[in-house]
Amino acid sequence: MTRVADQLIETLKNEIHAGVLKPGDQLEEAVLAQRFAVSRTPVREAVRSLVECGLLETRSRKGAFVRVLSAKEIMDLFEVAAELEGLACRLAAERLTDEAMQAINAGFRECETAASSGDAEAYSRANLTFHTAIHHASGNRRLVEQLSEFETRINPYRSMPYKMRNRLAQSTQEHREIMTAIFDGDSAQAADLMRSHMMLQGQRLPLILQNLM
């Protein structure tokens, strides 16, 4: 892991995640090379990786751009992610360990705190903590990776769907019910609740509302 390209991948991922690089932005190899004080070679390797991740796209002889997802593509992504989040809940309910239980509970508490203080930014982080705890509780590494990749891909498109204080409270309540189902070992219920929870979030993505499908 001493490769320059790996650091570039990490940095660029973060910048896309954080919104520094926005969908549609062009990435010129020479510019990136100069900025990081390396040659174009590792830059190109990083770009290749990010294209395969789905974060960038390259048009022939035109270079790399931060990938723009259509409303339909976002919906498709969400549909798949909702199903996998449901799977994570089902497996978590079936294979629950003490540590996993504590991690999920901690994530939930974090959500509660952020919701009651109305801090949307903090809730966004807490939300991720809660979901990630469930992912890990599934005991399925592939699933964890898949859902992490989804998070990376979808993040540039969600501009704070938690703006309304109402939604924070409602989301927390949904989390509570999901957590309860998992702890009760009610795997089918946990999966169903999570799927609904996710699809609700999906419907709130602003771009979907704008572009109409």
Partner DNA sequence: TGATCATTATATGTATACAGATGATATTTA
Partner DNA sequence: TAAATATCATCTGTATACATATAATGATCA
Positions touching a second copy (CB under 8 A) are 1-3, 5, 41, 44-45, 48-49, 51-53, 60, 73, 76-77, 79-80, 83-84, 86-87, 91, 140-143, 146
Site string for DNA, 9-28 (x = CB under 7 A): ------------------xx
Whole-angstrom Cα distance, residue 32 to residue 104?
Answer: 40
Residue 155, both tokens: 């993040």
Using CB under 7 A, which residues numbered 113 to 172 contact DNA? none
Burial class (CB in 10 A: 0-12, 13-18, 19+), 13: middle
**27: helix, strand or coil:** strand
Name the segment binding DNA (CB under 7 A); options: 60-68, 102-110, 114-122, 168-176. Answer: 60-68
Residue whose entry in the numeric block shows the structure tokens 């999966």: 191
CB 202, CB 78: distance < 8 Å: yes
In angstroms, give the least distance from the CB of 49 to DNA. 12
Beta-bridged to residue 56, according to DSSP, are 66
In angstroms, give the least distance from the CB of 195 to a second copy. 10
Applying CB under 7 A, the residues found at the interface with DNA are: 2-5, 27-30, 38-42, 44-45, 58, 60-64
